[in-house]
Amino acid sequence: MDRRARVAAHAASQAGLLTRPQIRGLGVTAAQLEAELVADRWRPVGRNTLAVAQPRPGDQVAWWLGVLECAPRAAAGARPRAALAGLSALIAAGLRGIDDDGLVHIAAPKSSHPVPPPPGVRVHETRRWRDEDVLTTGVPRARPEVATVQAALWARTDREASLLLVAAVQQRLTTVDPVAEVLDRIRRDKRRALLRAVLRDVAGGVHSLNELDFAGHCRTRGLPEPDRQVVERSPHGTSYLDVRWSRWRVVVEIDGIGHLEPARWIDDSLRHNEIALAGQTVLRIPSLGLRLDPARHLDAVERALRQAGWSPGTR
């Protein structure tokens, strides 16, 4: 096999790209490499990366370029010590319905001195780098549980961080336990407590936003104390309402993540309809929404109570 064919064969698994050290590791001399560039058979696409073959359909050239540019010293056959990370790694794993932030996120070990990245690439140097956290089939990328935590920590807002964590689990890219294990490694980060709480909501374990916490929000707001876990009987059976003010016929249902499952969703809708047809006002509040933006949800509750005849000072 001549050198061009040998180089192209190695580049086939990297969207047609190789770094200069990778090419030199295949036995190509500096003079031969320069001759290929002068002849325009190979072309530079970054500081250290060359396009030496055509990418295959479906190849993610931008992802590979980001990884290779941030780990240019990887020799032929060596695993680059850089990987798709965070939101980019979740998208590579199949995440849907979340807007891309327009960047390719790359993780590299702290103090690995990655070269300045190409436009559109953000490098995150991390002390938490572990080689075993990287999947190497295809473009190197963080395992989904690691990428989920990275994406949440790097998100622009708490809301975005929470939605990324929930989406990764809901779409079955990962599960709660592996994410919890990765999150346990985080010792110092302002979002650590928030993400642990959201993960508990997803797991359905500790109901941190259940009716007891909702009652606390009501007390802080000056709203009357509601009844909790009220038994409601109808011709269709017995159900339990999370929160109700019987005097004002206002019901609040606090929906955890499990309520988004199709079967549960349908049952909840039928139950909601029966309660509404009986003349009660029913408000539905997602537990995640209550965690991230309680004021707007409590505004709606207060408005419903006032419309039903409640006023401040009324017991």
DSSP conformation letters of 142-177:
E-HHHHHHHHHHH-SSHHHHHHHHHHHHHTTSS-HH
> Minimum mean pLDDT among 7-11, 142-146, 223-227, 294-298: which range?
223-227
Determine the pLDDT at residue 51. 94
Closest listed residue to residue 77, CA positions, set 126, 32, 14: 14
The pLDDT of 56-76, averaged and rounded, is 81
Going by pLDDT thresholds of 50, 70 and 90, the confidence category of residue 260 is: low
Q: Is the pLDDT reported for residue 58 higher than 90?
A: no
Going by pLDDT thresholds of 50, 70 and 90, the confidence category of residue 207 is: very low
Query: Domain ranges in the chain?
Result: 1-59, 76-203, 211-307
Q: Is the pLDDT reported for residue 102 higher than 60?
A: yes
Greater pLDDT, 258 or 309: 309
Determine the pLDDT at residue 78. 56
Q: Is the pLDDT reported for residue 259 higher than 60?
A: no
Going by pLDDT thresholds of 50, 70 and 90, the confidence category of residue 208 is: very low
Greater pLDDT, 151 or 232: 151
The pLDDT of 163-169, averaged and rounded, is 87
Determine the pLDDT at residue 41. 92
> Minimum mean pLDDT among 47-61, 63-77, 122-136, 243-257: which range?
63-77
Tokens of 15: 């969207």
The pLDDT of 52-58, averaged and rounded, is 90
Residues in the chain: 315
Average pLDDT in the chain = 84
Q: Is the pLDDT reported for residue 186 higher than 70?
A: yes
Greater pLDDT, 240 or 257: 240
Going by pLDDT thresholds of 50, 70 and 90, the confidence category of residue 174 is: very high
DSSP bridge pairs for 105: 122
Greater pLDDT, 35 or 201: 35
Determine the pLDDT at residue 113. 65
Determine the pLDDT at residue 74. 55
The pLDDT of 224-240, averaged and rounded, is 73
Residue-wise pLDDT tens digits, 88-98? 999 999 998 88
Q: Hunting for tokens 């294990």 — which residue is that?
A: 181
Determine the pLDDT at residue 114. 64
The class (CATH top level) of 211-307 is: alpha beta
Cα 257 from Cα 21, distance rounded (Å): 48
In 10 A of CB 9, how many CB atoms? 12
Helix%, strand%, coil% for the chain, nearest 5: 45, 15, 35
Q: Is the pLDDT reported for residue 132 higher than 90?
A: yes
The sheet carrying 250-255 orders its strands as: 227-234, 237-245, 250-255, 281-286
The pLDDT of 67-80, averaged and rounded, is 67
> Minimum mean pLDDT among 58-62, 66-70, 214-218, 250-254: which range?
214-218
> Minimum mean pLDDT among 20-24, 75-79, 159-163, 255-259: which range?
75-79
